[in-house]
């Protein structure tokens, strides 16, 4: 091992010297790799934001098991099931409570700009905590008042005046579904790909806003368990007890249900994956062009090395050395630019576009693979270098 390290230290960094000999071409290559990395970072970031933003409300719901309609596709298309199933769920051992939640999408007029926004509104029993959000729990009594709602301060849009007024203890009137409601409090969940913001209110206020909606038609059933019971076992018993007209999901399965819809049932998941592949292919082409040009420019030198007795493996290692150098040095500006774009996107959209160590590692590995593939293709010319043909 010591001898290997000593040999490595004595080895001339031929790959580095060749790359930096033409500094202009070297910088262009790094720019190309950085561009490919930015493409991959942004597509992966948008995809993660898609899944994260559309499951934030799911994660905040205070329940161990969820009941939904078998026809439900995602939170935007929940369908309904009969409330009788909640009463029946209370008969299953381990169930502490089973409460109804109503969800719907509305167009509301921004009191500041007059523009309409798509808002998700959730109605629940204010006497039973439905969300594991301190701001909501502390203000549940407020939504018992007629036409009172809580507004999402993390929503997408210009709501600075509304938020400032409510923070000062004032009630702000807003038009919803041709009804006037009072924003009496704030909480924070954040925007998603399906809604600009979220409103929360009592089940009674929800039904007043949607008079055609029957109280017996439930969007989501929130089932809480007694501490000593396992959610998987109780869920299995609920499936047997309730029949096929209701779907039973644990909390993890409920979030997976939402993610699978966006990943498999919509085109947007495919588009993000395609974007990553395109960024990868762009990088492969750029690195191949750089390495191929470099190999052609130094073909006589490679032939001379072969005439001196150097094996093909040594010459190939030089090309792979160049590929690794390009991967590492190109990744640094690519990650830096992506961090800035993540921040800009997050501030503009309120979507959770955040750089993670796992994603940075993933893109770094893809960059190395990208450069190694290009290096492997470019090495064919090195192997074909014949001293007899060069001189």
Q: What is the DSSP string of 211-252?
A: TTS-TTEESEEEEEE-TTS-HHHHHHHHHHHH-TTSEEEEHH
pLDDT band at 302 (very low <50, low <70, confident <90, very high): low
Residue 310, SS3 per DSSP: coil
Distances (CA, A) of 383 to 67, 304, 315, 325, 373: 64, 13, 8, 21, 16
Distances (CA, A) of 230 to 237, 250, 253: 11, 10, 15
* Angle at the Cα of 344 from the Cα atoms of 50 and 150, rounded to 5 degrees: 60
pLDDT band at 108 (very low <50, low <70, confident <90, very high): confident
Q: Which of 86, 124, 118 is nearest to 103 (CA)?
A: 124
Lowest mean pLDDT among 152-156, 204-208, 341-345: 152-156
The chain-wide mean pLDDT, for the chain, equals 83
**Angstrom distance (rounded) from CA 249 to CA 172:** 38
Mean pLDDT of 203-207: 92
In the chain, what percentage of residues exceed pLDDT 90? Answer: 32
**Angstrom distance (rounded) from CA 36 to CA 331:** 9
What are the tens digits of pLDDT across the range 244-299?
889 999 999 999 999 888 888 877 878 888 888 888 888 888 888 877 777 676 66
pLDDT, position 69: 92
What are the tens digits of pLDDT across the range 176-193?
877 888 899 999 988 888
Q: Are 187 and 133 in contact (CB under 8 A)?
A: yes
pLDDT, position 309: 64
In the predicted structure, residue 67 carries a pLDDT above the cut 70: yes
- The radius of gyration computed from the CA coordinates of the chain, to the nearest angstrom, equals 29
Residue 351, SS3 per DSSP: coil
Helices of type H across the chain: 2-10, 14-21, 23-53, 56-60, 84-89, 134-137, 160-167, 203-209, 231-242, 251-264, 267-297, 299-307, 312-349, 357-383, 387-390
Q: Which of 132, 148, 244 is nearest to 189 (CA)?
A: 132
Out of 141-150, 279-288, 304-313, the most confident range is 141-150
In the chain, what percentage of residues exceed pLDDT 70? Answer: 86
DSSP letter (8 states) at residue 74: B
Q: Are 80 and 209 in contact (CB under 8 A)?
A: no
Other CB atoms within a 10 A radius of the CB of residue 142 amount to 18
In the predicted structure, residue 175 carries a pLDDT above the cut 60: yes
Lowest mean pLDDT among 47-56, 135-144, 300-309, 330-339: 300-309
Strand partners, 77: 74
Buried b (16+ CB within 10 A) or exposed e, 14-26: bbeebbeeeeebb
Q: Are 154 and 196 in contact (CB under 8 A)?
A: no
**Angstrom distance (rounded) from CA 282 to CA 373:** 12
pLDDT, position 7: 45
CA 117, distance to chain mean position in Å, is: 23
Q: What is the pTM of this model?
A: 0.77
Residue 97, SS3 per DSSP: strand
- Compute the half-sphere exposure of residue 303: CA atoms within 13 Å on the CB side of its CA: 14
Residue 54 φ/ψ, nearest 5 degrees? -85, -5
**Angstrom distance (rounded) from CA 178 to CA 200:** 18
**Angstrom distance (rounded) from CA 15 to CA 319:** 7
pLDDT, position 287: 80
pLDDT, position 382: 64
**Angstrom distance (rounded) from CA 52 to CA 49:** 5
pLDDT, position 386: 60
**Angstrom distance (rounded) from CA 48 to CA 76:** 19
In the predicted structure, residue 167 carries a pLDDT above the cut 90: no
């Amino acid at each position: 091992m010591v001898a290997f390290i000593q040999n490595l230290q004595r080895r001339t960094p031929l790959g580095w010297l060749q790359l930096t000999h033409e500094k202009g071409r070297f910088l262009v290559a790094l720019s190309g790799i950085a561009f490919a990395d930015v493409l991959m970072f942004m597509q992966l970031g948008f995809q993660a934001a898609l899944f994260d933003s559309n499951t934030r409300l799911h994660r905040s719901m205070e329940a161990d098991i969820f009941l939904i309609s078998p026809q439900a596709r995602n939170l935007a298309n929940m369908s309904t099931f009969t409330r009788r199933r909640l009463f029946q769920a209370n008969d299953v051992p381990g169930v502490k409570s089973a409460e109804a939640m109503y969800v719907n999408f509305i167009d509301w007029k921004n009191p500041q700009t007059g523009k309409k926004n798509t808002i998700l509104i959730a109605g629940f029993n204010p006497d039973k905590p439905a969300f594991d959000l301190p701001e909501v729990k502390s203000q549940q009594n407020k939504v018992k008042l007629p036409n009172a709602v809580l507004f999402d301060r993390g929503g997408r849009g210009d709501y600075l005046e509304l938020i400032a007024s409510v923070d000062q203890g004032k009630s702000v009137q807003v038009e919803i579904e041709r009804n006037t409601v009072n924003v009496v409090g704030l909480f924070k969940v954040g925007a998603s790909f399906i809604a600009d913001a979220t409103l929360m209110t009592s089940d009674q206020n929800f039904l007043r806003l949607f008079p055609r909606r029957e109280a017996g038609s439930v969007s989501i059933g929130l089932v809480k368990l007694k501490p000593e019971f396992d959610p998987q076992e109780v869920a299995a018993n609920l499936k047997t007890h309730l029949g096929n007209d209701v779907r039973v999901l644990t909390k993890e399965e409920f979030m997976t249900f939402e993610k699978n819809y966006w990943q498999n049932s919509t085109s947007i998941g495919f588009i993000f994956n395609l974007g990553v592949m395109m960024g990868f292919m762009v990088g492969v082409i750029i690195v191949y062009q750089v390495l191929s040009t470099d190999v052609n420019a130094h073909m006589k030198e490679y032939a001379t090395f072969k005439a001196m007795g150097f094996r093909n493996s040594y010459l190939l290692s030089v090309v792979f050395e160049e590929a690794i150098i390009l991967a590492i040095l190109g990744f640094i500006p690519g990650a830096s630019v992506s961090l800035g774009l993540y921040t800009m996107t997050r501030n503009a959209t309120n979507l959770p576009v955040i750089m993670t160590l796992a994603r940075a590692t993933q893109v770094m590995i893809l960059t190395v693979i990208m450069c190694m593939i290009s290096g492997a293709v470019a090495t064919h010319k090195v192997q074909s270098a014949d001293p007899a043909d060069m001189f």
